[in-house]
């Protein structure tokens, strides 16, 4: 019997069950990619079968056991959600290279050095010691050479494992490293906007002595906006290009709407400066707080979009209050679709979809 793994997703190839992982119509010694990966690569099809969190503990435990260099990948645009605490607890005292991916989406006026500095403070705050920090874009190839050098420096003849939450771009990063350092021009591993694309470990020999880059499935954030809306809307939220910050001068009684996904209402404040960083496809609107509920009931899925009108019936919202003391500029992170910088003392009400997360940190910018 042939026991081969799909090079795109790591599933064991099989020709028995079309609805299971690794299916290929005819399995033979030349089989390389399963039907799912073939269709993702050639027809841009979105995967229907995705990884689950059920075995995630094993994924991470296996990597830790192997004692390789661990490249812990986070999405700089969704930093707080992907700088996953449970994962970090397991990675403490390991050789870790922290890589913040998707830098191409950030306003280019923000220097890499200041992001590295901020990331290093976030690590210190939770006593997470990392060997190095790197900020890259796998999509545009930014700083991939620097990352290659760092890996060479830290690897010490060992394999290199890529770990991180789903969708942070682990597979894209390996593709980028391979394309930058070899004559290979096409992606070797499947990638997609859907969290859970990589199904199993994928080993790509790359160094001397058969040492390899090893891709792993990602931990799926169940509170990500992805689980609440359809993939078409989700695609719109993922920033594809440099985001254009939108600056607002805010007074008490103003509300800023991030499409229909969330809104921030400002109370008890003097004039404030607020900057919204989100996908250019998300409709940002400023209005009066007294009209908020009326706007939600008449415009959700229309003016306030995404979500689309079809998604609205499945969404439940709630309001949570936060106090910003105004001592330091703050960043409010909306898991999955952007962040907002607020400078000044205020009370804010955040209205958002149930089971989605918000985090507040000192300002990244």
Ligand X SMILES: Nc1nc2c(ncn2[C@@H]2O[C@H](COP(=O)(O)OP(=O)(O)OP(=O)(O)O)[C@@H](O)[C@H]2O)c(=O)[nH]1
Residues of this chain that bind Mg ion (CB under 5 A) = 171, 197-198
Tokens read off for 19: 């609805």
The answer to whether residues 99 and 147 touch, using CB atoms and an 8 Å cutoff, is yes
Contact between 117 and 90 (Cβ < 8 Å)? no
Residue pair 345/260 in contact (Cβ under 8 Å)? The answer is no
Measured from the CB atom, is 239 or 307 closer to ligand X?
239
195 or 260: whose CB is closer to ligand X? 195
Is the bond leading into 307 cis (omega within 30 degrees of zero)?
yes
Taking CB within 5 to 8 Å according to partner kind, which of ligand X, Mg ion, none is near residue 167? ligand X
Partner from ligand X, Mg ion, none contacting 329, C-beta within 5 to 8 A by type: none
CA distance 256 to 307: 16
Q: Is 238 helix (H, G, I), strand (E, B) or coil?
A: coil
How far from chain centre, in Å, is Cα 12? 26
Least gap, CB of 138 to ligand X (angstroms): 4
Rounded to a whole number of angstroms, the minimum distance from the CB of residue 81 to ligand X is: 13
Smallest separation, CB 232 to Mg ion (Å): 21
Minimum separation from the CB atom of position 216 to ligand X (A): 8
Residue 20: both structure tokens together: 């299971």
Taking the least distance from each CB to Mg ion, the nearer of 197 and 356 is 197
User: Which residue lies nearer to Mg ion by CB, 199 or 295?
Assistant: 199
**Minimum Å distance from CB 175 to ligand X?**
7
Which residues touch 197 (CB under 8 Å, ≥6 apart)?
Answer: 9, 40, 47, 50, 51, 166, 167, 171, 190, 191
Q: How far is CA 164 from the centre of its chain?
A: 9
**Of residues 97 and 269, the one with the C-beta less far from ligand X:** 97
Site residues for ligand X per CB under 6 A: 101-102, 104-105, 137-139, 164, 166-172, 191-193, 195-198, 217-218, 239-240
Residue 224's binding partner among ligand X, Mg ion, none (Cβ under 5 to 8 angstroms by kind) is none
**Helix, strand or coil, per DSSP, at residue 169:** coil
Decide which of Mg ion, ligand X, none touches 193; Cβ closer than 5 to 8 Å per partner kind.
ligand X
Closer to ligand X by Cβ: residue 241 or 321: 241
């Amino acid at each position: 019997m042939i026991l081969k793994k799909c090079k795109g997703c790591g599933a064991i190839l099989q020709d028995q069950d079309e609805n299971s992982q690794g299916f290929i119509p005819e399995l033979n010694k030349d089989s390389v990619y399963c039907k799912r990966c073939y269709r993702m690569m050639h027809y841009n099809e979105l995967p229907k079968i995705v990884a689950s969190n059920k075995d995630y503990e094993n994924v991470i435990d296996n990597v830790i056991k192997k004692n390789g260099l661990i490249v812990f990948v986070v999405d700089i645009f969704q930093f707080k959600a992907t700088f996953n605490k449970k994962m970090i607890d397991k990675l403490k005292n390991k050789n870790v290279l922290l890589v913040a991916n998707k830098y191409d989406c950030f306003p280019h006026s923000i220097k890499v050095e200041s992001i590295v500095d901020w990331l290093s403070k976030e690590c210190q705050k939770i006593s997470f010691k990392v060997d190095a920090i790197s900020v890259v874009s796998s999509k545009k190839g930014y700083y991939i050479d620097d990352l290659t050098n760092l890996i060479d420096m830290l690897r010490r003849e060992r394999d290199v494992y890529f770990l991180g939450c789903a969708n942070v771009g682990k597979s894209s990063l390996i593709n980028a490293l391979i394309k930058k350092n070899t004559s290979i021009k096409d992606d070797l591993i499947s990638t997609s906007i859907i969290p859970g694309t990589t199904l199993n470990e994928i080993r790509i020999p790359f160094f001397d002595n058969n040492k390899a880059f090893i891709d792993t499935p990602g931990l799926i954030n169940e509170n990500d906006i992805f689980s609440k809306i359809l993939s078409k809307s989700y695609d719109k939220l993922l920033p594809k290009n440099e985001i254009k910050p939108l600056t607002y001068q805010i007074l008490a009684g103003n509300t800023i709407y991030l499409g229909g996904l969330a809104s921030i209402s400002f109370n008890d404040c003097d004039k404030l400066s607020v900057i919204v960083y989100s996908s250019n496809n998300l409709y940002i609107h400023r209005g009066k707080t007294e009209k908020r509920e009326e706007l939600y009931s008449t415009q959700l899925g229309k003016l306030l979009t995404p979500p689309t009108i079809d998604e609205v019936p499945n969404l439940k919202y709630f309001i949570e209050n936060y106090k910003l003391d105004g001592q330091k500029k703050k960043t409010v992170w909306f898991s999955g679709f952007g962040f907002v910088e607020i400078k000044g003392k205020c009370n804010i009400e955040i209205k958002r979809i149930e089971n989605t997360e918000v985090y507040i940190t000192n300002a990244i910018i």
